Structure 1
Amino acid sequence: MATVTKKELIDRIADQTQAKRVVVKRIIQSFLDEMVTELSDDNRLEFRDFGVFETRTRAARVAQNPKTLERVQVPAKRTVKFKMGRLMREKLSTPVEMSETE
């Protein structure tokens, strides 16, 4: 599985749109900053056919250190849940051929 970085996405979009990389970078960074801001305000982000991002709160719990078997309090925390939209679900549901390296 390959890793695609933000820089690679910026380069691809700049090539596809013929826009300057610095402009594309500013737009993408602004988009990501707005997503973080909205999610930190507990707002739901919905992108039709792509998916939905929303925050969830995990309850505080008691866990156990597997090495020492000591009980540890784990505080409540917020996480982000992503639910796939229709187009992504359709794209990911097509069978994948396994290569010999996997």
Structure 2
Amino acid sequence: MTKATLSDIVSERLGVSKIEAVDYVEHVIEIIKETLESGESVKVSGFGNFQVKSKSPRRGRNPQTGDDLTIDARKVVSFKASTLLRNHINDEE
């Protein structure tokens, strides 16, 4: 699903114009991004948790040349689905 598809669905379900729906979707995504950038987790009840995790530097290997290299420390976003979402996806209730 793309942002455009999501905006179309929001427009249909809320009965708002497509321009307003795009604006709503963009604002929600921007709020989530800003929250994660500040280091906070985002918890959406019944959906799941987005969390920023720090990865330590580690040794790696270039698969083309076989040369050893160091992969820099970085932050990654992880998502853990809620039990409700997992059950819904697996048709368990």
TM-score by length of 2: 0.91
CA distance in structure 1 between the aligned counterparts of 2:13 and 2:20, rounded to whole angstroms: 13
Query: Identity of counterpart residues, as a percentage?
Result: 20
Unaligned runs of 5+ in 1: 96-102
1:9, distance to aligned residue in structure 2 (A): 1.1
Q: Which runs of 5+ in 2 are unaligned?
A: none
1:29 equivalenced with 2:26 (yes/no)? yes
Number of residue equivalences: 92
Tell me the residue number matched to 1:67.
64
Range with bigger deviation, 80-89 or 50-59 = 80-89
Residue among 82, 87, 90 paired with 1:85: 82
Distance 2:10 2:63 in 1: 46
How many angstroms apart in 1 are the aligned matches of 2:13 and 2:70?
50
Give the root-mean-square deviation of aligned CA atoms.
Answer: 1.3
Mapping of 1:91-102 within 5 angstroms? Answer: 91-94=88-91
* Alpha-carbon separation, structure 1, partners of 2:64 and 2:8: 45
Aligned to 1:55: 52
Q: TM-score, normalised on structure 1?
A: 0.84
